[in-house]
Structure 1
Amino acid sequence: MKTLLQRLLKARGYSVYRDVPRDLANPLGVELAAHSALLRAVLQRAGVNVVLDVGAHRGGYRDLLRASGYAGQIVSFEPVSASYAALDTRAAADPAWSVHRLALGREPGRAKINVARESNFTSFLEPNAFSIDRFGGSAVDRQEEVPVARLDEVFGDLVDVREPRVLLKTDTQGWDLEVIEGAAGVLDHVVALQAELSVRPIYEDSTSWLDVLTRLGELGFRPAQLTSVGRDDALGLLELDCLLVRS
């Protein structure tokens, strides 16, 4: 169990546990283990043969997928230079894993991304005062100008499966809905989706988690599982990972 939780923790970033009261660590560990089990079931039952890993950071989600028994194609997107370099080195050992230095969004072009002191907080959005007070590492260290593309415009060049059945995972620190709206032309291929929901915002101008869920419902997805990945001092939820399947 300890090894599994370490993999899950790595896939989500160290911040999952670091501010959680000690008496809640085990229940959260159980939640994360349940998430891993359901993810494995969704991959199998939905017949997923392509995973699009948006906001790949250092490759933790790829590790979780491989640990869950998934052997199919993984396409990872990571715009930040240092994180991309780490991914590119790692991907050389996995022939079914390709990595691309690219951000995904609604509008193609170039944009400045806020690289945080702790890179897992990097976002196109600005951290708010609560975020900086709670997680000192969310403060902006520098900006990088990065390329941005719509997923539905690059999908055909990157996916090499004849009949793709896609799990779209987005972990982009408040940018997930932008990614999903930019995938409009290929959403018919998406059989499952994992998105990050901010219950207590840690970025300026982030979309309400209820609005994200409503929009995903309009697009034909329904939640299969909500997994907490952080709490505040009052034990209220900060963020959720939401695994969704087709309605």
Structure 2
Amino acid sequence: MLGDIAYSLISAGYKMPKSVKAKIERFFYQSYIAELLKKLRINCVLDVGANIGTYAQNLRKLGYKGHILCFEPHPEIFPTLQKNFKHDPLWRGYNLGLGNEDALAAFHFNTYSELSSFLVPEASMPKTVNSCEVKIKPLDSLLDEILTLVPEPRIFLKMDTQGYDTEVVKGASKCMDKVLCLQSEIAVRSYYMNMPSYLDALRYYETLGFELVDLFAASRNPEGCVVEYDCLMVRSEIN
């Protein structure tokens, strides 16, 4: 019945408003995340590129009650993140970036804070307004602390670092066996210099034993074409 109605609307030239379409896509994405967390019995979410903590807040709204560890290098954004998790005993935050080494690196502030990155933006990006050096640590160096907080972690690694996701994973070689699933933002069209393509990123994650289970549009251009996907990958042996 619903299928017939849908075909009738399409044949009559009805076009769904972009705002409605985005909400429907968001609903399916959030539903999938909630089911995945329950299915894999995730008890520790690593939110890399947390910004002000919106992703973590949404996890709580979805009913996730486990540990959340947020990593956000932006020094001007981190205080807001702190405010958002201060009343949640299982939610912690770290004012640093994750990468492949223990170092200081240039972090480029964007007009839109969520677009700030360790990578230099292409000319088509909104203007970079400033930059400063911030700490980068490999996830491996924080493993002991994670194990103290969550003795038997079942980890979901969520990454949204504006082109730096694969570097985050490279710095987690000693603890990737504890990561049961990951979410990475992969680019069909790159807005940052030296950002890996979506195909290269997927191939790299597959070499580590992860299998693609779904893709959700993270951003689209004005014509409606996908620019970035949030890819969800699960360890092959448990999928």
User: Normalization by structure 2: what TM-score?
Assistant: 0.89
- Which letter maps to 2:170? E
- Residue of structure 1 in register with 2:5 after alignment: none
- Which letter maps to 1:236? C
- Which letter maps to 1:151? L
The CA RMSD over aligned residues, in Å, is: 1.4
Name structure 2 gaps, 5 residues minimum: 1-14
Q: How many residues align?
A: 221
- Residue of structure 1 in register with 2:184 after alignment: 195
1:174 aligned to which of 124, 141, 163 = 163
- Residue of structure 1 in register with 2:54 after alignment: 60
Q: State how 1:55-204 maps to structure 2 within 5 Å.
A: 55-131=49-125, 138-159=126-147, 160-204=149-193
1:93-149 deviation digits (Å, cap 9, x = unpaired): 111001011100012111110011111110011111222xxxxxx311111211110
- Residue of structure 2 in register with 1:8 after alignment: none
- Which letter maps to 1:122? S
- Residue of structure 2 in register with 1:213 after alignment: 202
**How far is the alpha carbon of 1:22 from its aligned partner?**
7.6
Looking at structure 2, the residues matched to 83 and 147 of structure 1 have their Cα atoms a distance apart, in angstroms, of 15
Looking at structure 1, the residues matched to 23 and 189 of structure 2 have their Cα atoms a distance apart, in angstroms, of 21
Residues 115 and 27 of structure 1: is their aligned pair in 2 closer, same or farther, counting only changes over 3 Å?
Answer: same
- Residue of structure 2 in register with 1:228 after alignment: 217
Looking at structure 2, the residues matched to 22 and 126 of structure 1 have their Cα atoms a distance apart, in angstroms, of 36
Q: For residue 37 of structure 1, give the secondary structure of its aligned residue in structure 2.
A: helix
**How far is the alpha carbon of 1:163 from its aligned partner?**
1.0
Looking at structure 2, the residues matched to 114 and 208 of structure 1 have their Cα atoms a distance apart, in angstroms, of 20
- Residue of structure 2 in register with 1:5 after alignment: none
* Deviation larger for 219-228 or 184-193: 219-228
Looking at structure 2, the residues matched to 232 and 98 of structure 1 have their Cα atoms a distance apart, in angstroms, of 34
Contact 1:194/1:241 (<8 A) preserved? yes
2:26 aligned to which of 23, 29, 32 = 32
- Residue of structure 2 in register with 1:10 after alignment: none
**How far is the alpha carbon of 1:23 from its aligned partner?**
3.1
- Which letter maps to 1:40? A
Looking at structure 2, the residues matched to 161 and 192 of structure 1 have their Cα atoms a distance apart, in angstroms, of 17
Contact 2:185/2:218 (<8 A) preserved? no
Contact 1:115/1:123 (<8 A) preserved? yes
Contact 1:109/1:148 (<8 A) preserved? yes
Looking at structure 2, the residues matched to 33 and 115 of structure 1 have their Cα atoms a distance apart, in angstroms, of 30
**How far is the alpha carbon of 1:158 from its aligned partner?**
3.3
Contact 1:28/1:228 (<8 A) preserved? no
Looking at structure 2, the residues matched to 173 and 143 of structure 1 have their Cα atoms a distance apart, in angstroms, of 15
Q: For residue 174 of structure 2, give the secondary structure of its aligned residue in structure 1.
A: helix
Looking at structure 2, the residues matched to 85 and 91 of structure 1 have their Cα atoms a distance apart, in angstroms, of 10
**How far is the alpha carbon of 1:229 from its aligned partner?**
2.0
**How far is the alpha carbon of 1:222 from its aligned partner?**
1.3
Name structure 1 gaps, 5 residues minimum: 1-20, 132-137
- Residue of structure 1 in register with 2:9 after alignment: none
User: Normalization by structure 1: what TM-score?
Assistant: 0.86
